[in-house]
Chains A and B, each alone.
Chain A
Amino acid sequence: MKLAIELVDVVKTFRGQNQREFRAIEQLNLQIRDGEFFSLLGPSGCGKTTILRMIAGFESPTAGEVLIHGEAMGDRPPFHRPVNTVFQNYALFPHLTVAQNVAFGLEMEGIAQAQIRSRVGDALALVKLNGLENRRPRQLSGGQQQRVALARALVKQPEVLLFDEPLGALDLKLRKAMQLELKAMQQQVGITFVYVTHDQEEALTMSDRIAVLSEGKVLQVGTPTAIYEEPTCRFVADFIGESNFLLGQVIEQANGGLVVLVDGELTLSIPYEPELPVGKVITLVIRPEKVTLHPQTHHDPLALQGTIQDVVYLGTDTRFVVQLTSKSTLIIRRQNLHPGKLDRFTVGEAVKIRVTPNSMRVLEEGSLGPETASGVLNLS
């Protein structure tokens, strides 16, 4: 398989104002395949933009190597790299017209005027901006500016296109539309897209593969489905979508599965391949939409007991906060399929919560860290 970009043992440190070193990227290894839509996803300050800037050539790694199509980039300046960037705030040249902005990169290559004109026309047609050639950037809407930035990068026919949170400044509706459009365009032109974002939904929508980053480290690389359904660590489970974390204790290991005491209350048999010692405390990840709520009268041996603490109506679904017997809370989402029955569960009501073993994900982390955002479990 051909690789578009490879980062080998990349380290990046910055020197702060107080001369103290700050490690932005730690020993990073990453392989981006040719022709894929690859997202770098993480909270602000996780180093994703730094990675992009090292690929583009605006920063050079403190150690390690960036390879583009197998070629080591070393200290090669941005203007000698086969990649182009769509910047966060577009960075359109305010003193040039739309057509001049798009033509800029071709002029730098020394291409003949006639050819530039036709290629600029094609690029503007691709982003549906024909007729706006002679406008200045400030005369365009945010969405149009975004398209100019895209055309300006695409017209160079780069091997890799880099995106630095390009949709951040657009409103929600436009952003959703642009996400689908970008994905379609990537499939049409067939070049590698490397996309930096902090928006997990955006990454899930567009990417072939996603790398989840935190504090300069890659935590997990995988397809959107793998990242969502099979998170390999707490941070990923928490950052991508909403997660509940419950503690469990291994009671026994039997034929490809674990028998686990969940939340000190319920014994479940959960499929899990690796061997774990009996008595080990593990974390169970449960997605809010994979839990079902039932009235107290419902007979179900595989259910946890709880009390409804909060009900929030969210349009497409309703979000319940339930306190379990162990005092830990569980978030449950239920689609509003039958609008008339919205108020079936009320605050203070005792309920049964059914968790199916297949919808639980086992993490071999025995404690719930202090940074837990949702589903805090209190073991006292």
Chain B
Amino acid sequence: MRRALTLQHRWDLAIRLLGRVGLWGITLAALMFLYLPIAILVIYSFNRSRLNAVWRGFTLDWYRSLFAGIGETGADVITGQIWDALFNSLWVGGIATLVATVFGTMVALALERFKFRRKTALEALLFLPIIIPDITMGISLLVFFSLVFQLVQTVTGVRLVLGLPTVIIGHIAFNISYVAVTVRSRIAELDPALEEAAQDLGANEWRTFYRVTLPLIFPGILSGALLAFTLSLDDFVITFFTAGVGSTTLPVFVYGMIKLSVTPAINAISTLMLMASFLIVLTSLALQRRSLRL
């Protein structure tokens, strides 16, 4: 009896050990799978060799080349284009974020605070841009724009082309959903009694909104905005379909560069973009945590 128990005990221990090792192993493998390519990209941005395959020692040259000749006449053509693309990205991201944040917040408030017909349908529609493939969204936007352009041309004779405005509209279209979902989770945490208390104390609807509702959901709005900005900055597919001449954003430009030649300069740009996104997402998360503690 005692022997059997001990055996059973040993067996349990072995299983538990196996489980622990297995769990760690799978976790590690998953993390490697996710982050190893990124780590390689970052490491090779410091590689002296022009080729990604071999390591020839540490250098900051590729970063330097990105910044070489800024403001000087006769700067490297590529460098100039990179910076143009970056500014395009920032413009698109900035405006799209601003508009999407306002509309997304309004949608979130409507969904969380009011009852109306077809609310469930609107909720489903809201998730659509998040779940449909980027490529579908990109193509549908392209078709939409060309239809609109044709219509405008037949009616007014004005010929419109794809450019920064179309890119911005495309980004607003998918960002509204992300902002709405983020802000909505914050509003859901907000006790409706707070708004009632404000009205009870003599604040009309508008003052209730900007004295109580807005300050309390603001961390959520900000984190939604940061998320939108990151998504906008990183988006390739939708931008690719809606961009025209002179409206190349950074991801689209990098894609173009790869087709010419793969230099570690691309690794350097990518690393910088990664860092920027990382910082923004961290800020967004920190804001969300802060809002939870409030």
Contacts and interface: CB of A to CB of B under 8 A. Distances in A.
Contacts of A88: 193
Interface string A84-96: 1101110111110
Contacts of B198: 93, 104
Chain B interface size, as a band, is 10 to 19
Interface stretch (B5-13, B72-80, B211-219, B230-238): B211-219
Given A94-B216, A94-B294, A156 B202 contact: yes
Contact of A79 (B193, B194, B202): B202
B52 interface: no
Contact residue range for chain A?
20 to 34
Contact of B200 (A56, A92, A138): A56
Nearest to B195: A91
B191 A89 contact: yes
Contacts of B216: 93-95
Interface string B175-202: 0000000000000000101101111111
B154 interface: no
A112 B194 CA distance: 24
B201 A91 contact: no
Contacts of A94: 194, 216, 294
A77 B196 contact: no
Interface in A73-117: 77-79, 83-85, 87-89, 91-95, 104-105, 108-109
A89 B294 contact: no
Contacts of B211: 104
A104 B210 CA distance: 13
Contacts of A57: 199
B199 A79 contact: yes
A313 interface: no
Candidate in B196, B200, B207 with the most chain A CB atoms within 10 angstroms: B200
A93 B204 contact: no
Contacts of B196: 58, 78, 85, 87, 91
A58 B200 CA distance: 9
B294 A78 contact: no
B273 interface: no
Contacts of A152: 197, 201
Contacts of B194: 91, 93-94
A89 B193 contact: yes
Given A88-B193, A89-B191, A95 B215 contact: yes
Interface string A286-314: 00000000000000000000000000000
B203 interface: yes
Contacts of B212: 93
Nearest to B193: A91
Contact of A156 (B193, B201, B215): B201
Given A94-B216, A94-B294, A95-B216, A87 B204 contact: no
A109 B201 CA distance: 9
Given A89-B191, A91-B191, A91-B194, A109 B200 contact: no
B200 A84 contact: yes
Contacts of A156: 201-202
B294 A93 contact: no
Interface in A12-67: 56-58
Contacts of A84: 200-201
Contacts of A85: 196-197, 200
Contacts of A78: 196, 199-200
A87 B197 contact: yes
Contacts of A153: 200-201
Contacts of B202: 79, 105, 108-109, 156
B221 to A, nearest CB: 14
A57 B216 CA distance: 24
Contacts of A77: 199, 204
B171 to A, nearest CB: 31
A267 to B, nearest CB: 57
Contacts of B197: 85, 87, 91-93, 152
Contact of A105 (B201, B204, B215): B201
Nearest to B192: A91
Contacts of A109: 202
A94 B196 CA distance: 14
A109 B203 CA distance: 9
A91 B193 CA distance: 6
14 contacts: A79-B199, A79-B200, A85-B200, A87-B193, A89-B191, A92-B197, A93-B197, A95-B294, A104-B198, A104-B201, A105-B202, A108-B202, A109-B202, A156-B202
Given A77-B204, A89-B193, A153-B200, 13 more contacts: A56-B200, A77-B199, A78-B196, A87-B197, A93-B194, A93-B216, A94-B216, A95-B216, A104-B198, A104-B211, A108-B203, A108-B207, A156-B201
Interface of B: 191, 193-194, 196-204, 207, 211-212, 215-216, 294
